[in-house]
Amino acid sequence: MKTHLIITIILLTSYCSHAQGRLWAKAVHILLLLSIAFYHKGYAQPYKSMFGSQFSEWHVLVGNFENPEWKYEVSKYEKDTQVNSVTYKKISYGKAGSGLFREVLDSGKVWYIPPCESKEHLYMDYSLKKGDIFDFNIYNGTIQQKTVDSVFYVDGRKYIRCLYTRAGEQIIFIEGIGCIWGIASHYNNYCASPLWEQKIRCVYQDGALLYSGANESCNPFTTSIAGNVHDTKFTITPNPASSILRISNVKGITAIKLTDIQGRTIRSYTKPIENIDVSMLASGMYLLQLQTSEGVYTHKFVKE
């Protein structure tokens, strides 16, 4: 559409230059440029919201480094509230209290006020591109700049992965969902002691399941094996992968399942196999579930 408008500008300007003179041509040129600006402003698609029209829930695993037991909690949207004449959405999230969120969907920015202060922080930015830098509040007010190393789409949602690892897994911002390490966990650590960790398992809006992690059924669980928490027994490389995904140690594995991010089975293996061919997969995020006598170890990986 933009190309067609530019061509129209050139043709009309040329015509008017000969027929009506330079002044009229200049006026037409300006009007058509304004039309392009109006077109892009009026038809630009905003990013997806984290909030439903009536109901929003984030089901998360919560733990900390002083107590390795992980527990299942639910974060909920409560109500809209005003701060300095600005509207925020209040979310309650268990031990860490509650926080206030403000979305600017046209720009893709999500702002956040932690429970322990009144200052607004940038929580997510959906407009980030590969190579961009994002500031993470690690803990006690410490800021670390991390690089975006991958951007991809799953089910129409933008995924932004950063070179920042928590409990063995890189942080990912998901458009309309949140950070996979819980609702504002990278800012709540500024307030919480001991250092709390969270991990989103499932997200619901208006009764519909929008996102699920490693747990297919979205039922509560607490074991580190089922939740892929601090899993160091198995390693898969490379990640991202383009053709072959390698499992470092297949000893003890009795079955393998490859699924999409929603838990839908793509391929199953009834015996251990070291090399998994993923070349046929579309670009995006997937799950590799390794069945053992101890339970199921689940790893996320990205297909380039």
Give the pLDDT of the chain (304 residues) as one tens digit per residue. 444 445 555 554 555 455 455 555 555 555 555 554 444 444 456 899 999 888 888 887 776 545 545 566 778 888 999 999 999 999 887 666 788 999 999 999 999 888 777 888 888 999 999 999 998 876 666 788 899 999 999 888 999 999 887 766 788 999 999 888 777 665 554 454 444 567 787 888 887 778 877 544 554 433 333 334 334 567 888 888 899 999 988 888 888 999 886 677 899 898 889 999 999 998 877 888 888 877 777 787 888 8
The CATH number assigned to the domain holding 295 equals 2.60.40
Contact 140, 193 (CB under 8 A): no
* Cβ count near 7 (within 10 Å): 10
At residue 245, the 3 state secondary structure works out as: strand
Q: 26 lies in which domain range?
A: 2-43
Same domain, 88 and 207: yes
* Domain endpoint, select from 159, 193, 224: 224
In a domain, 185, yes or no: yes
Q: Are residues 26 and 163 in the same domain?
A: no
What is the C-alpha to C-alpha distance for residues 29 and 223, in angstroms, rounded to an integer? Answer: 66
In 3-state terms, what secondary structure has residue 204? Answer: strand
- In terms of Cα–Cα distance, which of 233, 167, 223 is closest to 199? 167
144-194 pLDDT, tens digit per residue, is 889 999 999 988 899 999 988 776 678 899 999 988 877 766 555 445 444
pTM: 0.60
Beta carbons of 59 and 210 less than 8 angstroms apart? no
What per-residue confidence (pLDDT) applies to 154?
Answer: 85
Q: Are residues 213 and 251 in the same domain?
A: no
Within a domain: residue 151? yes
Neighbours of 76 (CB within 10 A): 16
At 3 the pLDDT is 47
- pLDDT of the residue at 215: 45
Predicted local distance difference test score (pLDDT) of residue 206? 81
* Residues 253 and 206 placed together within one structural domain of the fold: no
CA–CA distance from 232 to each of 94, 168, 236 (Å)?
A: 28, 8, 10
Q: Of 180, 201, 224, which residue is a domain's last?
A: 224
Q: Which two tokens stand for residue 176?
A: 């309309």
Q: Are residues 218 and 178 in the same domain?
A: yes
* 207 and 275 belong to one structural domain: no
Provide the domain count of the chain: 3
The amino acid present at 159, given as its one-letter code, is: Y
Q: What is the C-alpha to C-alpha distance for residues 129 and 249, in angstroms, rounded to an integer?
A: 34
Q: Strands 253-260 and 98-104, how do they pair? A: unpaired
pLDDT of residue 5: 47
**Six token digits for residue 29:** 């040129």
The amino acid at 207: G
Task: Please check whether residue 230 lies inside any domain of the structure.
Answer: no
Indicate whether 96 and 136 sit together in one domain: yes
pLDDT in tens, 64-77: 545 545 566 778 88
Q: Would you state the pLDDT for residue 41? A: 41
* Chain mean position to CA 34: 35
